Structure 1
Amino acid sequence: MTGVAIEQMLELWCVELRQVKVHLGSLFAHPSVAASAATFLDGLLGPERRKTGWMRAEAAGDPGPWRQQAVLGRSHWDADVLRDMVRDYALETLASPGAVLVIDETGFLKQGQHSCGVGRQYTGSAGKITNCQIGVFAAYVSDKGCAFIDRQLYLPKDWTSKPERRTAAQVPDSIGFVTKPEIAAQMIERAIAANMPFDWVSTDTVYSVGRIEMQLRRAGKGYVLGAHASDQFNSWIDKPEVAGTAEQIAKALAPEAWTRLSAGDGTKGARLYDWAYVELADLEADEYNEHLTGLWTRGLLIRRTLSDGDLAFFSTWCRAGTLIEELVRVEGQRWAIEDAFETAKTELGLTHNETRSWHGWHRHVSLVMLAFAMMAVVRQRANTLTSPQKRSDEAKLRRLCDGLSRKSAAWPHASGNAGSSPPS
């Protein structure tokens, strides 16, 4: 990329950041809190490796973290409004046919017992049962990029059943115990209600339950949902006879039933696996929603690792005639949310939340979602400015985007006239 293209990129970045701050400021009744929130966003996007309150305050030139702590704590604003704002903002640029709504969870490791939702529970972030919070997230993934568009902190029963813990962490009275699949179903419902353009939903086995399957069939959405090896699958209605557990079906397949396909590019190139697709039944869409038409296919997608033959299984629902290549593409989009978690944690301070309250967690995470969405938007818009002859220097552009603007702290911040009273 030539110097002119880099200058275009920097101008795009600067203009976008200022516009995002204007939209962010609309959430706050008092200008001083809006200014502190803009400074908070600067801190998330800045070069500091730790995005703690003191680190953000030091980068902003504040004597202490109290102004930014007020954004997460004492100030009055609705994090769910910001969540929806992030969704709409991301979709303006990233919306695309064939998009996938990916739902997954990630862990926030903790040492104490007072942070809202903390407890000993399994998290893939550590690969074991440990003391942590669990956040359930939805990401919008298209050929234009990926952005988080929803989130919710999971509360174990040990929290919802103890009034004293709820009160201390300021958990709203309206929040009761809900399972992770129920949280996922609520996120899907919000996405559909917002007329979000997506054709598919992809999840791992935690969220592959009957309620979500029926919800998506009624909505006319395709899905590729993780299944267990022990899950039962049966064919019917003019399909070749298949019956048994997913693992039994996979082991009975003929060698020619498998095809080698890429689930997308990873850090080491194409993610190649052997795949098999078993159609189980063709059903009319109006069986689930009288306003829908067309023939849809219920199926089982199977993935086999090349190195050790390890198997993974996916329950599928798609329009009749959908090719296995499309199902593999959808399943491969789940990697996007894993990459997004890593970037948000290592670059944007997703896990550097120092608050203990329910609303503090959702405010911090929603601000990180905004920063991440801005990066996706800037990257996509910058790509449209990059001509083919400038691609040889594309790595510079990616470092600018993925490095999350090391120049952010040097750019003009929002006014720093927020109150500086100590935290309550």
Structure 2
Amino acid sequence: MDISKEYEHYMTHLAEGLGHADRHSGLSGYCTGLMLPLSRKSVEPMAARVDPLHASARHQSLHHFVAKAQWSDPELLRRVAQWVVPVMDFSAGGWWIIDDTGFPKKGAHSVGVTRQYCGVLGKQDNCQVAVSISLACEEGSLPVAWQLYLPHNWAEDAVRRKKAGIPEDIEFATKPQIALQQLRDLLGDGAPRHCVLADAGYGIDYAFRQGLTDLGLDYVVGITSAVVVWPPGVEPLPPKPYSGMGRPPVVPRRTAKRQPVNVKTLAQGLPDSAFQNISWREGTNERLTGRFAALRVRCAGSNVGKARLLPQQWLLIEWPAGQAEPEKYYLSTLPETAALNDLVRAAHMRWRIERDYQDLKQDLGLGHYEGRGWRGFHHHASLSIAAYGFLMAQRLKAGSDASGKKNFIDRQVPAVPKDYVPRGSPARATSRGKLHHNVAPPTGRRTRKRPGALSALQLDKSAFTFVTQ
């Protein structure tokens, strides 16, 4: 099938979930604009390229579609997944990958913006942060859930909430709590129970890890070096005998010789023979290889006396040769029979969601939305993912070596008219050729004036037009 016709079929499939038939035009125009090679993919420049002869009207309609129209983001993402997932190959395994991404912002009015850690900048700064989940296979991945993180100072401010249009049922939730709810929603819709991958920002949260286990999901999550575990061969004593009064004791006991250790101390006590060189995939220039060790441990939980005896799980340690200490640590509930190669491959599959963010931001304008409201922020992200989903499906069907699919729309889109002025541009100078001036006399030539007369600039009123934006 011709790629343009397939794109139209895709738009029709997505539009069936938007509610009103007249939203099909907004969907197609917006997604087309996101895939065009524009330096800035906010509403106005997209409108000017998609429909340059009616740029102002198109700008208004696209703005209404993304910022005001009440269509469902989860439904749109579900339909994107319905199109893409059938061409994904899960024969080698599937993964749910959780992460968040930041959008640096100026000012204090964009919904959810506050001073917080921004991964894009690598530091604390003014930004918005959104939590997402991607469904991944070996060859590709697709974001299937997306939600803005709402900080305390937004969640508890009724005035700001109303102005930004934040739904009443949205309350403060940590990023791990948002991710868990996204997974519950996906599983409730019949999604498969793939292994969950997340970085240490999520992995250090015991409630998050336990929540995954309660959902029946295996995980491979990053942790920090300070996480405390019971090392192999060291077990806590059983809880104190029940006295018959109150609740039965459940807290494992420790002694001076029976103590858990942090994973850094445990790793530094391992012999060199415990580590193996493992390769996991082809990189840009060479095959990626690292030095790893895997142990069966029990998490010791908190150190405040509330931890129960937890099941054993894998501790994966990544310690590059020549470095003074390990670089990364992971906890995993993959089966005890899992091979070290499988643990390493799963732990390093997180690069897929980073690639999603890279393509969405660089090629599909994910961070270019200029509105301030909750609905517009989520609508714009959903439409960026919709455009990404079509391109991902094309690449998966064509093979991993396919190229040139990002800007597949080679239709003859009319050029922007020369006299088009973007909204907010400085007023244009009126063409001097249409003004009737008293031309300055040539050098050496004398002009005659009637006594007392003043030279006047005579203007042709028909040469003036009022430009409204």
Q: TM-score when scaled to structure 2?
A: 0.75
1:271 paired to 2:296: no
1:28 paired to 2:18: yes
1:38 paired to 2:28: yes
Q: How far apart, CA to CA, are the structure 2 residues paired with 1:359 and 1:198? A: 30
1:63 to 50, 55, 76: 55
Paired residue for 1:224?
Answer: 220
Q: How far apart, CA to CA, are the structure 2 residues paired with 1:223 and 1:27? A: 32
Q: Aligned partner of 1:373: which letter?
A: G
2:80 to 73, 86, 92: 86
Paired residue for 1:105?
Answer: 100
1:135 paired to 2:152: no
Higher helix proportion: 1
- How much is the aligned-residue C-alpha RMSD, in angstroms? 2.3
Deviation at 1:235, TM superposition (A): 4.1
1:303 paired to 2:297: no
Note the residue ranges of structure 2 that are not aligned, 5 or more in a row. 236-257, 300-310, 415-469
User: Secondary structure of the equivalent of 2:108?
Assistant: coil
2:154 to 130, 153, 159: 159
Name the CA shift for 1:227/1:29 in 2 (closer, same or farther; >3 Å): closer
- On the 8 A contact 2:17/2:79 being kept in 1, the answer is no
Name the CA shift for 1:409/1:27 in 2 (closer, same or farther; >3 Å): farther
CA distances 1:172-215 after superposition (whole Å, capped 9, x unpaired): 11111000010111122122222223431010111112223223
Deviation at 1:270, TM superposition (A): 2.4
Q: Percent identity?
A: 26
1:336 to 346, 352, 362: 352
Name the CA shift for 1:15/1:270 in 2 (closer, same or farther; >3 Å): farther
Moved more, 162-171 or 217-226: 217-226
Paired residue for 1:288?
Answer: none
| Superposition map of 1:180-219 within 5 A | 180-208=175-203, 209-219=205-215
Q: How far apart, CA to CA, are the structure 1 residues paired with 2:47 and 2:99? A: 32
User: Secondary structure of the equivalent of 1:138?
Assistant: strand
| Superposition map of 1:304-383 within 5 A | 304-306=319-321, 308-309=323-324, 310-383=326-399
1:75 paired to 2:75: no
Name the CA shift for 1:86/1:211 in 2 (closer, same or farther; >3 Å): farther
Q: How far apart, CA to CA, are the structure 2 residues paired with 1:409 and 1:335? A: 36
Deviation at 1:161, TM superposition (A): 0.9
Which structure has more relative contact order (CA 8 Å, sep 6+)? It is: 1
- On the 8 A contact 2:193/2:216 being kept in 1, the answer is no
Q: Aligned partner of 1:63: which letter?
A: A
Moved more, 62-71 or 341-350: 62-71
| Superposition map of 1:114-133 within 5 A | 114-133=109-128
Name the CA shift for 1:258/1:130 in 2 (closer, same or farther; >3 Å): same
Q: Aligned partner of 1:249: which letter?
A: L
- On the 8 A contact 2:18/2:72 being kept in 1, the answer is no
Name the CA shift for 1:409/1:144 in 2 (closer, same or farther; >3 Å): farther
Name the CA shift for 1:202/1:12 in 2 (closer, same or farther; >3 Å): farther
CA distances 1:196-243 after superposition (whole Å, capped 9, x unpaired): 23431010111112223223323332211111100001146899x994
- On the 8 A contact 2:228/2:263 being kept in 1, the answer is yes
Q: TM-score when scaled to structure 1?
A: 0.82
CA distances 1:93-150 after superposition (whole Å, capped 9, x unpaired): 2251420100001101111211100011111111111111001110111024111111
Deviation at 1:267, TM superposition (A): 2.5
User: Secondary structure of the equivalent of 1:352?
Assistant: coil
Name the CA shift for 1:281/1:405 in 2 (closer, same or farther; >3 Å): same
Moved more, 13-22 or 141-150: 13-22
Q: How far apart, CA to CA, are the structure 1 residues paired with 2:392 and 2:370? A: 26
Name the CA shift for 1:224/1:409 in 2 (closer, same or farther; >3 Å): farther
Q: How far apart, CA to CA, are the structure 2 residues paired with 1:63 and 1:146? A: 35
Q: How far apart, CA to CA, are the structure 2 residues paired with 1:352 and 1:152? A: 17
Paired residue for 1:249?
Answer: 266
Name the CA shift for 1:44/1:24 in 2 (closer, same or farther; >3 Å): same
Moved more, 346-355 or 89-98: 89-98
- Number of matched pairs: 374
User: Secondary structure of the equivalent of 1:333?
Assistant: helix
Note the residue ranges of structure 1 that are not aligned, 5 or more in a row. 1-10, 283-295, 384-393, 412-424
